[in-house]
Amino acid sequence: MSDIKTKEQLVQELAALNSEDLKAMATDLKIEFADNIGDDTLSKRIIGNQFPEKKVKKVKAPKKAKDSKYKKVLIEKSPSGRFFLSYSVGEVVPKMEAKQADELIKAGYALEVQE
């Protein structure tokens, strides 16, 4: 490869090469390929090797507490007999379904913990 500085210059240089030259260049760059690979595919791999694209990871915004379907609760009485739940007295449950948490709170078995 001559003094290539941009992706466009590389594309132009690759377009001017024949199949054997493309394969030789790919071999020099240690790019693996099958013997029957097409020129376009090999050119794309060479470009990708020389100008790798940055992967952007999408991050979801955290849900607001009001929209949450979970609540954080403190167990006041053992719910194992009445609700068949295996939580201990004094235990803080960081993520309990809101419907179940509301039932425990209403029955006096738990208190909602504000964060």
The answer to whether the CB of 90 falls within 8 A of the CB of 110 is: no
Angle, in degrees to the nearest 10, between helices 7-15 and 39-50 = 150
pLDDT tens per residue, range 2-50: 566 788 888 889 989 999 999 999 999 999 989 899 999 999 998 888 8
Can you read off the two tokens belonging to residue 30?
């240690």
Q: What pLDDT sits at residue 95?
A: 92
The pLDDT of residue 6 is 86
Mind listing the pLDDT tens digit for each residue in 41-99? Answer: 999 998 888 888 877 777 776 655 555 789 999 999 999 989 999 999 999 999 999 99
What's residue 50's pLDDT?
87
